[in-house]
């Protein structure tokens, strides 16, 4: 996605050509999908912060056999690396969207139920 957005921002595209692309229904659907992906990425990041240790050294695995402990440490490292990579790539996508003056809609993570922003009585709005 980032590469496609990067190509769209290249100087050989005239403003009229960019407009034809960004006004297309398929592209508008892509922007809606990016809004959904933003929420998924945020939720996975929250899960990672809750479930993954800040550092593999922080995990006490004294009672776990060494082979399994090493496997778990490796899994933690790969998962943390993947989450960091996802955050970096998302920041790139957001910068490209901003540079192209494209909007995927407003969203406040603090209003989501995971962040405690949803009323206990229930809300008609989805997060």
pLDDT at 51: 84
Nearest-angstrom CA–CA distance, 1 and 77: 26
Going by C-alpha positions, the residue among 92, 91, 84, 90 that lies closest to residue 48 is: 84
- Start-to-end CA distance of the chain, whole Å, equals 23
pLDDT the model gives residue 121:
45
pTM of this prediction? 0.73
Q: How confident is the model at residue 118 (pLDDT cuts 50, 70, 90)?
A: low
In this predicted model, what pLDDT tens digit does every residue of 44-93 receive, in sequence order?
998 888 888 877 667 777 788 889 888 888 888 899 899 999 999 999 99
State residue 30's pLDDT score.
94
Which are the contacts of 80, defined by CB distance < 8 A and separation ≥ 6? Answer: 48, 52
Which pLDDT does position 57 carry in this prediction?
A: 67
Instruction: Tell me if 22 sits within 8 A of 95, measured CB to CB.
Output: no
Check whether 96 has a pLDDT greater than 90: yes
* DSSP-H helix ranges across 9-65: 15-22, 25-51
How many Cβ atoms are within 10 Å of 34's Cβ, its own excluded? 19
User: Which residues, at least 6 apart from 13, have a Cβ–Cβ distance to it below 8 Å?
Assistant: 7
pLDDT digits (tens, 9 = 90+) for 15-54: 999 999 999 999 999 999 999 999 999 999 988 888 888 7
**Would you say residue 119 has pLDDT above 60?**
no
State the pLDDT at residue 63. Answer: 83
């Amino acid at each position: 996605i980032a590469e496609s957005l990067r190509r769209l921002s290249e100087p050989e595209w005239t403003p009229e050509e960019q407009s034809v692309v960004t006004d297309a229904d398929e592209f508008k659907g892509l922007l809606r999908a990016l809004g959904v992906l933003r929420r998924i990425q945020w939720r996975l990041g929250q899960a990672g912060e809750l479930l993954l240790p800040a550092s593999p050294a922080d995990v006490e695995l004294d009672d776990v056999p060494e082979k399994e402990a090493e496997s778990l440490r490796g899994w933690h490292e790969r998962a943390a690396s993947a989450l960091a990579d996802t955050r970096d790539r998302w920041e790139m996508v957001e910068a490209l969207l901003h540079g192209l003056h494209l909007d995927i809609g407003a969203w406040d993570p603090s209003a989501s139920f995971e962040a405690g922003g949803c009323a206990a009585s229930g809300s008609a709005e989805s997060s």
